[in-house]
Amino acid sequence: MAPTDPPPEADQPPEFAADPFQPDPKPRGQSWALRLRQAHANLAPLVLAPLVITVSSGMAYRLLRDWGGWGRDRAHGLMVLHEGEWLKAWLGAEAETMYVLLNGVGLLWMLGSGGWLAWDRWRRKGVPRETGKGGV
């Protein structure tokens, strides 16, 4: 580099702090579909365990009551699992309500984001590729 050449930093515009109220002028490199896919994948393990507990305990409760001949008292433990009542001992009186709320919101999130991702994949497979071949 010759002494008369400007420093490499002079070629680039100065860095300013991004205004949170203005949209980004240039893309960050990740599409929102990729960010949605990553959020869906990251939240899935957190949502899966409570849903499995709720579904399996609810099914077991109903089937054992109807077909297994269990009474309400005998199957009460399954309902405690199903409703999240077991959390009261650790997290207080509001834990049961929060379990039901977060379980429902998690299920809606997974259904909504998973449905959108499936639709987006299906839609993109129908678009002809650059090579001229139709996708399927």
Measuring CA to CA, how many Å separate 95 from each of 9, 22, 43, 66, 75? 55, 39, 20, 29, 21
**34, 36, 33, 50: which is closest to 105 by C-alpha?**
50
> What tokens appear for 104 in the block?
């429902």
Q: Please write the tens of the pLDDT for every residue from 14-62.
A: 555 555 566 555 555 678 888 999 999 999 999 999 999 999 999 999 9
Look at the block and give the residue holding tokens 């702090």: 17
Q: Please write the tens of the pLDDT for every residue from 70-112.
A: 999 999 999 999 999 999 989 998 999 999 999 999 999 999 9
Q: Sign of torsion, CA 62 63 66 69?
A: negative
Say what the pTM is.
Answer: 0.64
